Homo-oligomer: A and B are copies of this chain.
Amino acid sequence: MTIEEQIEFLKKGTVDFIREEDLKAKLERSQKTGKPLRIKLGADPTAPDIHLGHTVVIRKLKAFQELGHTVIFLIGSFTGMIGDPSGKNATRPPLSRQEIDANAETYKAQIFKLLDPEKTEIRFNSEWMDEFDAADFVKLTSRITVSQILERDDFKKRMREERPISMHELLYPLVQGYDSVALESDVELGGTDQTFNLLVGRSLQREYEQEPQVIITTPLLEGTDGVDKMSKSLGNYIGIDEPADEMFGKIMSISDELMWRYYGLLTDLSIDEIGELKQKCQSEELNPRNVKIYLAKLIIKDFYSEEGANQAELNFINQFSKGNLPDEIEEMKITSGDYKIADLLLKTQMVESKGEAKRLIKQGGVKVNEEKVAHAGIYVIVNSSIGTLLQVGKRKFLKVIAK
> A interface vs B, CB < 8 Å?
78-79, 81-82, 84-87, 129-130, 132-139, 141-147, 149-150, 155, 159, 162, 164-171, 174-175
- Residue of B84, B86, B130, B142 near A134 (CB, 8 A) is B130
Residue ID in chain B nearest A128 by CB atoms: B134
- Residues of B with C-beta under 8 A to A132: 133-134
Residue ID in chain B nearest A84 by CB atoms: B142
* Docked pose: A355 CA to B237 CA in angstroms: 112
- Residues of B with C-beta under 8 A to A141: 85, 166-168, 170-171
- Residue of B82, B144, B166 near A166 (CB, 8 A) is B144
- Residues of B with C-beta under 8 A to A84: 142
Q: Besides the contacts A134-B137, A138-B171, A146-B159, what 16 more A-B pairs have beta carbons closer than 8 Å? A: A81-B135, A85-B141, A85-B142, A133-B134, A134-B136, A137-B137, A137-B171, A141-B167, A141-B170, A142-B168, A143-B167, A144-B167, A145-B164, A146-B150, A147-B159, A170-B170
* Docked pose: A166 CA to B170 CA in angstroms: 12
Q: Smallest CB–CB gap between A129 and chain B, Å?
A: 5
Label chain A's interface by main secondary structure: helix
- Residues of B with C-beta under 8 A to A135: 78, 81-82, 129
A–B pairs, 24, beta carbons within 8 Å: A78-B134, A79-B138, A81-B135, A82-B139, A84-B142, A87-B142, A129-B134, A132-B133, A132-B134, A133-B133, A133-B134, A134-B136, A137-B171, A141-B166, A141-B170, A142-B168, A143-B167, A146-B155, A146-B167, A146-B169, A146-B170, A147-B162, A147-B164, A170-B170
10 closest Cβ contacts across the A-B interface? A85-B142, A132-B134, A141-B167, A141-B168, A142-B168, A86-B142, A85-B139, A145-B164, A146-B165, A137-B137
- Residues of B with C-beta under 8 A to A149: 167
Residue ID in chain B nearest A81 by CB atoms: B135
Residue ID in chain B nearest A87 by CB atoms: B142
Given contacts A82-B139, A138-B85, contact A145 B165 (CB under 8 A): yes
- Residues of B with C-beta under 8 A to A87: 142
* Docked pose: A144 CA to B164 CA in angstroms: 9
Q: Smallest CB–CB gap between A173 and chain B, Å?
A: 10
- Residues of B with C-beta under 8 A to A155: 146
